[in-house]
């Protein structure tokens, strides 16, 4: 019961924020615009499904209802409920992620260029931190029911420091927050960023760069 109340309070406080903070996306011009995800053309969003074809099912989704598979090198799994996965969110300026973390699991440093993130811990003990544009690191140990906000576009991470599994729900004030994962972006880009650029930026030899790139080749 307490968990349910915490989640409802979290969602209400985020979605009912003052209008200037409510959405990073443009205001909609109609009640809703259920996205046609497979449309061949789109402009800053998805075209609308005809209103006559919309049903209550378009406004419901179980995409983040199930635990994600954390059997990977990071011990983490992020499941997104954005406008692509939940078309009913199209034009509404909100979305959510489910972040599952195994013991010791890490959601590696990344950023969301199009939205601010508000996290609530549902289970476990985690550390969440971000780095400001002034190169200041802010972090906090959080437990069940506690919140942490990450300003739009800043590099951040979530790490499970407890003995059991951890679960975080993250809300965004944008229908497609976007994710820039730092390491894969730099070392796994296609076509690749030149070794000389990364070598100079990180002040290491090209051999080190090539070794790191090999870990992100897939």
Residue by residue, what is the 3-state secondary structure of the chain? Answer: CHHHHHHHHHHHHHHCCCHHHHCCCCCCCCCCCCECCCCCCCCCCCCECCHHHCCHHHHCCCCCCCCCCCCCCCCEEEEEECCCCCHHHCCCCCEEEEEEECCCCEEEEEECCCCCEEEEEEECCEEEEEECCCCCEEEEEECCCCEEEECCCCEEEEEECCCCCEEEEEEECCCCCCCEEHHHHHHCCCCCCCHHHHHHHHCCCHHHHHHHHHCCCC
**Side-chain half-sphere CA neighbours of 211 within 13 A:** 5
To the question of whether residue 107 is assigned a binding role by annotation, the answer is: yes
The annotation status of 38 as a binding-site residue, yes or no, is no
Is 110 assigned a ligand-binding role in the annotation?
A: yes
112 is in an annotated binding site: yes
- 135 annotated as ligand-binding: no
For residue 117, say whether it is annotated as part of any ligand binding site: yes
Question: Residues forming the annotated binding site for oxalate?
Answer: 97, 107, 112, 117
Q: Which residues are annotated as a binding site for Mn(2+)?
A: 110, 112, 117, 156
Binding-site positions: 97, 107, 110, 112, 117, 156
């Amino acid at each position: 019961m307490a968990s349910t109340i915490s989640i409802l309070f979290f969602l209400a406080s985020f979605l009912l924020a003052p209008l200037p903070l409510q959405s990073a996306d443009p205001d909609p011009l109609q009640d809703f615009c259920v996205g046609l995800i497979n449309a061949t053309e789109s402009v800053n969003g998805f075209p609308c499904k005809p209103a006559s074809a919309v049903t209550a099912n378009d406004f419901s989704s179980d995409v983040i209802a199930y635990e994600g598979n954390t059997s990977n090198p990071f011990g983490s799994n992020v499941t997104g409920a954005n406008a692509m996965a939940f078309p009913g969110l199209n034009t509404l300026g909100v979305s959510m992620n489910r972040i599952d973390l195994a013991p010791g699991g890490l959601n590696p440093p990344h950023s969301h260029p199009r939205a601010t993130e508000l996290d609530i811990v549902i289970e476990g003990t985690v550390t969440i931190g971000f780095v400001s544009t002034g190169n200041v690191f802010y972090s906090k140990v959080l437990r069940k029911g506690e919140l942490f906000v990450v300003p739009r576009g800043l590099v951040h991470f979530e790490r499970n420091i407890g003995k059991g599994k951890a679960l975080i729900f993250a809300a965004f004030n944008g229908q497609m927050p976007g994710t820039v994962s730092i390491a894969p972006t730099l070392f796994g880009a296609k076509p690749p960023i030149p070794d000389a650029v990364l070598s100079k930026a990180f002040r290491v030899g090209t051999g080190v760069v090539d070794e790191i790139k090999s870990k992100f080749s897939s």
